[in-house]
Amino acid sequence: MTGPFSALHHRSLTDPEGFWGEAAGKIDWYEPWERVLDDANPPFYRWFKGGVLNTCHNAVDRHVAAGRGDQPAIIHDSPVTDSIFTITYRDLQDRVARMGGVLRGLGVEKGDRVIVYMPMVPEALVAMLACARIGAIHSVVFGGFAARELATRIDDAQPKVIVSASCGIEPGRVIAYKPMLDAAIDQATHKVGSTVILQRPQCEAALIAGRDHDWQAASAAASPVDCVPVLATDPLYILYTSGTTGQPKGIVRDNGGHAVALSWTMEGIYGARPGEAYWAASDVGWVVGHSYIVYAPLLHGCTTIVFEGKPVGTPDAGTFWRVISQHKIPTMFTAPTALRAIRREDPEGRLIRDYDLSSYRALFLAGERSDPETVRWAETQLKVPVIDHWWQTETGWAIAGNPMGVELMPVKYGSATVAMPGWDMKVLDFDGGEVPAGDIGALVAKLPMPPGTFPTLWNAEQRYRDAYLSEYDGYYKTGDAGFIDADGYVHVMTRVDDVINVAGHRLSTGGMEEVLATHPAVAECAVIGVNDQLKGMLPLGLVVLKAGVDQAHGDIVKELVGLVRSEIGAVAAFKTALVVDRLPKTRSGKILRGTMKKIADGDSYTMPATIDDPVILEEIQGALQTAGYAQTA
């Protein structure tokens, strides 16, 4: 691999301090850093040690100071409420400064935590930026999570304040948030002193006197506050991701490395230009929303699109193309699931022809592996580059991608192209040895990881070490398996643990199993992720009932589906469970989830040497075939 990007990538690995120090020149600093890379305490590396900045200043205030206050900062496009409105950088500065005043008035200071539990409205961004402004640490929880999931995050983050809304809006229905918020506060051991509630006209919430504060009234009464200088190594946010045990992991993102890395990616990876519109069709509750709805576009001086709708049904499969056309969007970022849904509804791409896409330059895909058929369809219909790239909640930005702003490389279908700056990717076998090009193994990154990645887990340094750094000494374990070909192209094939990917959302099967196990009829259970043409994967439950249970299996399954929906939320997409006589296990008692997944997907498998009773696999295969799974091509 030769060319401009190859030289750039080589420099990022051989001279990381020079490379990232130069990139940091695009960020405003109150005080310069002592060292670009602090490697005094491996494997805990830190970037821009001693540097002082404020992320909100860099994302908002500096653009106003540069004379661009009248440029749109946010466009809220909400087909579910049939409304579109624009917030300029100057207006955003005022809103954020006042919300910072609200939080400070409720006792929030530098280093305190604030949970944000909101739908896709501009106020979610305002709340996040307000936390950054005063040096508080925000933790956004996706609005689709149920009270139980929210309560676990309250207990872990221990916030002083929760910022929420009266409701979220889905096609054809309104979801009241306040009852879920109240239930989560009741369930949590940590007691939150105050909430700030955005009242939406579709469903106003009853406020509890003394605890709940109306957003509009509180903002109107608040005095604007200035940006608070923080260290580059101070946390900006905590974002929880599902762990294999069902206990959420609090990914920590710092201020300095995050601002530098995301600023570089906007130009280097996405080819975006200040002043342009940029759209990541995701949710602020996920890492894509943090990085590419909120921080990166605003750091780069773009106009970010906040979209409250769906790829189909709001009103049809042409809504993405309408948004691109109406707001003259050059670059869009979404999940392959969205494209599959659009293609299912409009296979010939007829709705695309209804819109002027002359401003459109590229489509980026991430969140799950992009299947070649979907990529080819999008290329044919849109006639722009369709770029798959690979990254994780932990990394905050792309591990591998196609650097459009530096050099657009040839596409290899099924590959996320090449490692991005600072990423030294290897493929190792189970013994930690590097495998030959083209061989599948564990995808790992040589330490240190570049800026913008996670330096630790919230209040769980040993868990950080154990989960990510211990298995392969000197490397970050991505948890993904794949291969790197002779041209240096990275191919991500599957997860190596039991965290499944549903429509781009990483969800723990262990967490779902915990819920299923609470049903009084269930003696034992397992949840596996089976391949799905639309969503990538869907969870499938297998349950063994207690002796003497005479309730109809169909009724039990309905109750189990309802239980997961209630405890985890609709985001889990848990719709099916099978009642089986027993589950296959190793002699040590480990359930063979991986083998069951292969059977369900119709893949070939090798009989595990440690299986307790091989006959059980035949029983499982029969049950899966009866239910419509385990069909070979």
CA 210 from centre of chain = 34
- pLDDT at position 439 is 86
How many other CB atoms are there within 10 angstroms of residue 543's CB atom?
A: 24
CA dist 630 and 633 (Å) reads: 10
Structure tokens at 424: 């030294």
CA dist 168 and 200 (Å) reads: 9
How many other CB atoms are there within 10 angstroms of residue 551's CB atom?
A: 11
CA dist 24 and 277 (Å) reads: 23
Structure tokens at 562: 């309802």
- pLDDT at position 244 is 45
Q: What is the DSSP pairing of strand 137-140 with strand 113-117? A: parallel
Residue ranges, comma separated, of all CATH 3.40.50.12780 domains in the chain are 4-309+389-478
Structure tokens at 194: 């105050």
Report, as ranges of residue numbers, the positions in the chain whose pLDDT lies below 50.
244-245, 588, 633
Q: For residues 220 and 203, is the Cβ–Cβ distance under 8 A?
A: no
CA dist 379 and 289 (Å) reads: 24
**Of 16, 254, 5, which Cα lies nearest the Cα of 132?**
254
Residue 473, classed as helix, strand or coil, is coil
> What would the DSSP string read from start to end of 90-154?
HHHHHHHHHHHHHHHHTT--TT-EEEEE--SSHHHHHHHHHHHHHT-EEEE--TTS-HHHHHHHH
499-626 belongs to CATH 3.30.300.30: yes
Structure tokens at 524: 């034992």
Q: For residues 390 and 368, is the Cβ–Cβ distance under 8 A?
A: no
Q: How many helices (DSSP H) and strands (DSSP E) are in the chain?
A: 20, 32
Q: What is the CA radius of gyration of the chain?
A: 24
Crossing angle between the packed helical segments 4-14 and 16-23, to the nearest 10 degrees: 110
- pLDDT at position 587 is 54
> What would the DSSP string read from start to end of 15-50?
-HHHHHHHHGGGS--SB--SEEEE-SSTTS-EEEET
> What would the DSSP string read from start to end of 595-608?
HHHHHHTT---PPP
Angle at 146 between CA 524 and CA 312, to 5 degrees: 105
Helix (H) or strand (E) holding 62, with range, is helix 62-63
Q: For residues 516 and 577, is the Cβ–Cβ distance under 8 A?
A: yes
- pLDDT at position 494 is 67
- pLDDT at position 114 is 98
CA 290 from centre of chain = 8
CA dist 75 and 72 (Å) reads: 7
Q: What is the DSSP pairing of strand 577-579 with strand 536-545? A: parallel
Q: For residues 443 and 481, is the Cβ–Cβ distance under 8 A?
A: yes
Name residues whose C-beta falls within 8 Å of residue 436's C-beta, 6 or more positions apart in sequence: none
Nearest-10 Cα torsion for 189, 459, 139, 58: 150
Angle at 307 between CA 119 and CA 390, to 5 degrees: 95
Name residues whose C-beta falls within 8 Å of residue 301's C-beta, 6 or more positions apart in sequence: 63, 68, 71, 274, 275
The sheet with strand 72-78 has its strands ordered as: 83-88, 72-78, 303-307, 277-280, 331-334, 362-365, 386-388
Q: For residues 465 and 455, is the Cβ–Cβ distance under 8 A?
A: no
**Of 116, 124, 113, 205, which Cα lies nearest the Cα of 160?**
113
Query: CA-CA distances (angstroms) from residue 535 to 221, 370, 377?
Result: 45, 11, 17
CA dist 429 and 11 (Å) reads: 28
**Of 544, 518, 540, 633, which Cα lies nearest the Cα of 593?**
540
Q: For residues 109 and 83, is the Cβ–Cβ distance under 8 A?
A: no
Q: For residues 251 and 238, is the Cβ–Cβ distance under 8 A?
A: yes
Residue ranges, comma separated, of all CATH 3.30.300.30 domains in the chain are 499-626
Query: Is residue 41 exposed (0-12), middle (13-18) or buried (19+ Cβ within 10 Å)?
Result: exposed
How many other CB atoms are there within 10 angstroms of residue 271's CB atom?
A: 19
452: left (phi over 0), alpha (psi -120 to 50) or beta: left
CA dist 253 and 251 (Å) reads: 7
CA dist 152 and 489 (Å) reads: 39
4-309+389-478 belongs to CATH 4.10.95.10: no
**Of 98, 107, 156, which Cα lies nearest the Cα of 129?**
98
Helix %, strand %, coil % of the chain (to 5): 35, 25, 40
Q: For residues 330 and 360, is the Cβ–Cβ distance under 8 A?
A: yes
Residue type, 347: P
**Of 445, 31, 53, 30, which Cα lies nearest the Cα of 260?**
53
Name residues whose C-beta falls within 8 Å of residue 233's C-beta, 6 or more positions apart in sequence: 46, 47, 48, 49, 254, 255, 256, 455
